[in-house]
Every structure is written in structure tokens, then in C-alpha cells.
Structure 1
Amino acid sequence: MELSQIINSIYPLPQQSLSKLNLIAEEVTLPKGFLLINKERPNHNLFFIKQGIVRAYTYRGDSEVTFWFGTEGDTAISIKTYINHEPSYENIDLLEDCTLYKIDSRKLKMLYDEDIHIANWGRKFVELEYLRTEQRLISMQFLSAAQRYDELLKHNRQLVQRVPLGYIASYLGISQVSLSRIRAGR
């Protein structure tokens, strides 16, 4: 997916504004297993996924808890770092070799000050990120594991083929055995 498609899917920009964003973007290719965002260190970059899959996770005791997957067209970012310039709550690693567009958020915020279209795009970007977080929270609070699995299949079926089942079980908040039972019942 091209950067202009990703940017315009968030909020359409005039070509002149889009060109300004292209000037501060860098395409990078990184290997599977690369730790894109480390919760121990602030990372002031936004990453738009051109190709590949990433996951966000944190630790509960000694166990990793996966709470988000990003695929083509999604943004990998620590909102805490983006807003407060503090280390993030999560780690984000690559589940496949990935091609990403990297934008330094400090440069992006400078563009907010000079281009109202980019500033409006930034507002819409953060609004959409918070909506996704809210949807995930509501899903975890009010849907059963089977319903969450059905939602995953409905909205992102490709994950089941591309992501290890242990990560999917963690994302759903269940064990791999429970996931196997849910899958067998489908």
C-alpha cells in the first residue's frame, strides 16, 4: 500500500500537503522479529505499514500479552510517546519482514504549525487511534472469547493464516487450548 493511500484513508489531503508529508517520510525494510518500539525507550516515529504484520504487546508477570495487530495500511505508534514524549506502555515487534514508512513525529508536528490541512489530518489520525482503542476495550469487557474470535474473523480474517495461534489466543485473552475449542466449534 502506498503512503499516499494510507494518508488519504485517514483524512484526504490536497496534493501540496501530501507532498510535504512525503518529504519527511522514509521507506524502511526491517526483518521479522525486529523490535520496532521498545517500551523502555521513547521512539518518536510513526510507522505506516506498507507490507507485513506487527503486534503490540506488554508483560503480565513473565507472560507476553498481545493486544493489537497491525497489517498493511495500519499505523504502528506509541500514542503515549507521541503525546507526552515518554516511553510507551507497549513493545511493538515485526511478525513478518516488513516494509514501513517512517515519519519523525517531531517533524510532523512542525508541519501541523504551518499547514492547516496536515493539522486537521493529525487531529483525525489521533481520533481514529482512540476509537480503535475504545473498540478493543469494549470488546474485551463485553464480548465472550468466541464473540471476539468471530469479530477478528469478520474484520481481519488474514491474521489467522499469518499470525501464530499463541499470539491470537493472547490477543483474545484466552489459552491456546480454549482457542482450539472455539475453532473446532466453527
Structure 2
Amino acid sequence: MENIIRKIRMYYPVSDEALEALVCLFERFVFPSKTIIIHAGKLDRKVYFIEKGITRSYVLHNGKQITTWFSKEGDTACGSWDLYRHKAGFEYVETLEETITYSISIGQLNELYRSYIDLANWMRVLQQENFLRLQDIHIRRLNWSAQKRYEHLTKECPELFQRVNLGYIASFLGITQQSLSRIRANGHFLT
């Protein structure tokens, strides 16, 4: 659980005692590539901590999959409506390679927050950072050219281009796969 613990402590100095309480409740899952672990419209009361692998979150819009997020080693994956509203969410989460996760129920996680303020603070900081990332993505889509969004992603997350289908990356950037191919063909590619 090295990746998970490292990432938790990257966001907040969670105590050994709190981490032990969290880890004791984990249930391990190994999902093959292309497995949908969270389904839109279906209540899922689990949070998945990714030890190894990568997932993508997406929504369906007019029958088309629109990628909204990628989660990799150390990240968490869950439905935000499931987590905060106790309602079935609108996103799917799919593994893009074999993915090892440790899950915990949202109810158990909420209990841990009541018992360990450092875990509650870790989640607060994590969600704050995720909110700011989403806000940045939204602003970039409104104000930046496709080429500039691509260049930023290659600097921010270069490993995505080695691990993720370019169609998913294009969707995440809000452009067509053909546009992404043109940008890369014009010498704006990862070396």
C-alpha cells in the first residue's frame, strides 16, 4: 500500500494510528483492464484507493463518452454524488489497465472521520485540491487553445500519454482525436 499511503501523506500528515484504522477496513480488489467499477445511475457506496493502475471517469452525452478525469496510483476513485449526496451518480469509472485497489465503504470512511480528525482533514484537503483542479480545467477549456491545453497536459501528466488511449486524452482535452493528431503531427508531441 506504498502508493496509497505516500499520496495520503502528500496531502496531509495523517498519523500512523489513523492510517492503521483506515487500512484495517480495506478490501482488496484486482480489476482487469476495461472493467467498469462505478456505473452511472447505480448507487455505489464505496471509495476505491488505487495502489496500481489507472482509471478514467466519463459521462455519456448524446451516446458519446466524454472523459472527465483520470486517477492513478495513490489516487481515489468514487462517485461524487454517491459520496456526498447518497444518490446514484452520473459518471462511470473504468479501469484502463489491470488495477489493484483497496476499497472502503463510505459509511466506514465517515465513521473514521469522526474518530480521526487528521483523516477528516486529509479528505478536506484532497477534495479542495480536486475542486481547484476541476476549476482550472474548466477555465482552460474556456480560455486556452487546444494546442495550449495539450502542451499543459504533457507537462502536468506526461505518463498519461504512455498509458492512456489518445482518444480518451482528446476527449478529456475537449477536442477531437483528429485535432489531437494534427497537434502532435505539427511537432507538438511528447518526446
Shorter-chain TM-score range:
over 0.9
Query: Match of 1:87, as an amino acid?
Result: A
1:96 aligns with 2:70: no
Deviations 1:66-122 (A, max 9, x none): 121112122112222111011112101011110112121110101111222222222
Equivalent in the alignment of 1:5: 6
Aligned equivalents of 2:174, 2:128: Cα separation in 1: 25
**In the alignment, is residue 165 of structure 1 matched against residue 182 of structure 2?**
no
Matching residue's letter, 1:145: A
Summarize deviations over 1:142-173 as a string: whole Å, max 9, x none: 21111111111001111112111111111111
State the secondary structure of the residue aligned to 2:10. helix
Matched, 1:38 2:58: no
Secondary structure of the residue aligned to 2:60 is strand
Q: Which residue of 1 aligns with 2:79?
A: 78
1:21 lines up with 2:36 in the alignment: no
Moved more, 1-10 or 102-111: 1-10
TM (norm. structure 1) is 0.94
One-letter amino acid of the counterpart of residue 126, structure 1: Q
Q: Is the 8 A contact 1:47 1:75 kept in 2?
A: yes
- Alignment match, 1:54: 55
The one-letter amino acid of 1:56's match is S
Structure 1 unaligned spans of 5+: none
Identical residues among aligned pairs (%)? 35
**Structure 2 counterpart of 1:176:** 177
The yes-or-no answer on 1:105 pairing with 2:106 is yes
The separation in 2 between residues aligned to 1:169 and 1:4, in whole angstroms, is 31
SS of aligned partner of 2:43: coil
TM-score by length of 2: 0.91
Moved more, 91-100 or 9-18: 9-18
Where structure 2 has 5 or more consecutive residues not aligned to the other structure, the ranges are none
